[in-house]
């Protein structure tokens, strides 16, 4: 039998809502004192966690809160990773916590144009987020969960105040995190899904659908901070089991510790066409234009066509939203009468772009991450070429130095 967790986020999700729901499940091994003792392993001071029974609408639910008691410093994503890594938390808890934080940091990095490691979580927000995310990881692993389902995610509408001024709801970071995940606005004039909640959903959930066939053993309800007009601000967790054959599909019917939990699953398009009446110069120019047109990859294969004519097979990989522009470009720059289009699935390593300071300048380096560990370091070509031209140093020396200096940090 597989253990299933269904996240019924009909009025959104935040860190405190899902923790409140975990604590409300009524399992002996999950209680506030157990959580307090586990959080001591994080070696973080100046906060207090509380659990209370409250009414949301007409429902009696559990409210989890984090009260920051002392002045806290702002922490970067790098600081937070270091704090988690040096703690005495279980390795699974560390990895899951960092994976959730990584989703937030990557979204903020993209929105604000800063390196991922430099993304800052300000004062109270940093402590609040750390406790929410680490608590979620601790409680999740207490349940021996094999599959996680969720309904589609409501977002809310309006504006919300921040230290940078008002921002639209849903928050830009929330939207960025939820790319590719089914969402809807909902009848809420406030933020119902936070970046922390969105990141938890993205990392934990295997499948977004209705409640699966399952035997429900426990139900937990966690309270949010804002009451809706006509419905309670509550998140429900359904915990139970299902037969082995019940699962969400070939890729995601897996234990949460498998590799799929640490990869980005992407729906992409491959375009291809055979050309036997063009020159290498024209094909080379087409590839240059394809790369400038936001394709993810482009390549040429040599083939033999009918009557043993040598030809080029031109291929391009792009996102679905770039399909039309890529088709127009191929038809405009070649003599082809048709282009084949295939929908493909790609699993990609999570990646970060880091700025590396060398004794003679800076370069950008792409880092691939698997299970919270950096496994591939790849200097960015254009960045290294620019520094090579500026300093006169050999390009291969700059590549070597970039990898060495980043690896030795």
- List, for residues 308-340, the tens digit of each pLDDT value: 889 999 999 999 889 999 999 999 999 999 999
Does residue 25 contact residue 238 with C-beta atoms inside 8 Å? no
Do the Cβ atoms of 298 and 287 come closer than 8 Å?
A: yes
269 and 374 both lie in a single domain: no
Determine, yes or no, domain membership for 99: yes
Residues 322 and 177 in one domain: no
Q: What domain count does the chain have?
A: 3
With respect to residue 128, please indicate whether it lies within any of the assigned structural domains.
Answer: yes
Question: Is 399 among the domain residues?
Answer: yes
Q: Judge whether residue 272 has pLDDT over 60.
A: yes
Which among 209, 242, 257 is the end of a domain? 257
Let me know if residue 214 belongs to a domain. Answer: yes
Do residues 376 and 271 both lie within one domain? no
CATH number at residue 333: 3.30.70.1380
* Domain end (from 224, 257, 290): 257
pLDDT at 256 over 70: no
Does the reported pTM lie above 0.75? no
In this structure, the number of other CB atoms found within 10 A of the CB of residue 92 comes to: 14
Q: Give the domain extent around 292.
A: 264-338
pLDDT value for 164: 67
Domain boundary among 338, 365, 389: 338
Q: 370 and 397: one domain?
A: yes
Nearest Cα neighbor of 108 from 160, 168, 174, 156 is: 174
For residue 304, the cross-strand partners are: 310
358 and 237 in a common domain: no
Which three-class secondary structure state does DSSP give residue 56? strand
Please, what is the average pLDDT of the chain?
A: 88
Phi-psi region of 44 (alpha: psi -120 to 50; beta: other; left: phi over 0): beta
For residues 55 and 128, membership in a common domain is answered with yes
- If asked whether residues 376 and 392 sit together in one domain, one would say yes
In a domain, 343, yes or no: no
Angle (CA) 195-200-203 rounded to 5° is: 120
21-35, 97-111, 222-236, 359-373: least confidently modelled range: 222-236
Cα-trace Rg, the chain: 25
What does residue 245 show for φ and ψ, rounded to 5 degrees? -75, -10
205-237: pLDDT as tens digits? 988 888 988 999 999 999 988 776 677 889 999
Q: How confident is the model at residue 161 (pLDDT cuts 50, 70, 90)?
A: confident
């Amino acid at each position: 039998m597989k253990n299933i967790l269904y996240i019924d986020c009909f009025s959104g999700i935040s860190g405190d809502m899902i923790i409140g729901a975990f604590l409300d499940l009524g399992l002996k091994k999950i209680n506030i004192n157990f959580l307090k003792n586990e959080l001591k392993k994080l070696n973080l001071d100046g906060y207090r966690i509380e659990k209370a029974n409250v009414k949301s609408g007409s429902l009696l639910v559990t409210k989890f809160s984090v009260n920051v008691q002392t002045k806290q410093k702002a922490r970067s994503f790098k600081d937070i990773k270091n704090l988690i890594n040096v703690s005495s938390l279980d390795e699974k808890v560390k990895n899951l916590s960092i994976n959730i934080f990584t989703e937030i940091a990557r979204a903020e990095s993209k929105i604000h144009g800063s390196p991922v490691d430099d993304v800052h979580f300000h004062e109270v927000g940093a402590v609040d987020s750390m406790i929410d995310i680490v608590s979620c990881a601790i409680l999740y692993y207490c349940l021996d969960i094999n599959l996680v389902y969720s309904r589609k995610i409501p977002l809310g509408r309006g504006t919300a105040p921040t230290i940078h001024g008002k921002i639209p709801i849903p928050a830009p970071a929330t939207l960025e995190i939820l790319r590719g995940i089914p969402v809807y606005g909902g009848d809420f004039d406030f933020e119902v899904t936070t970046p922390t909640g969105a990141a938890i959903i993205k990392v934990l959930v295997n499948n977004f659908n209705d409640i699966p066939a399952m035997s429900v053993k426990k139900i937990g309800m966690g309270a949010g901070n804002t009451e809706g007009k006509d419905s309670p601000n509550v998140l429900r967790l359904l915990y139970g089991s299902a037969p082995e054959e019940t699962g969400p599909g070939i890729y995601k019917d897996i234990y949460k510790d498998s590799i799929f939990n640490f990869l980005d699953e992407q729906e992409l398009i491959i375009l291809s066409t055979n050309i036997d009446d063009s020159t290498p110069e024209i094909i080379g120019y087409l590839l240059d234009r394809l790369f400038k047109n936001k394709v993810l990859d482009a390549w040429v294969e040599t083939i033999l066509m009918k009557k043993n004519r040598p030809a080029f097979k031109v291929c391009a990989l792009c996102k679905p939203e770039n399909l039309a522009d890529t088709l127009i470009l191929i038809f405009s720059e070649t003599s082809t009468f048709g282009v084949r289009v295939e929908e493909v699935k790609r699993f990609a390593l999570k990646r970060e772009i880091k700025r590396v300071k060398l004794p003679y300048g800076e370069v950008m380096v792409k880092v691939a991450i698997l299970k919270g560990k950096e496994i591939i370091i790849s200097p960015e070509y254009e960045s290294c070429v620019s520094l090579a031209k500026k300093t006169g140093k050999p390009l291969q020396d700059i590549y070597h130095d970039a990898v060495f200096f980043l690896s030795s940090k």
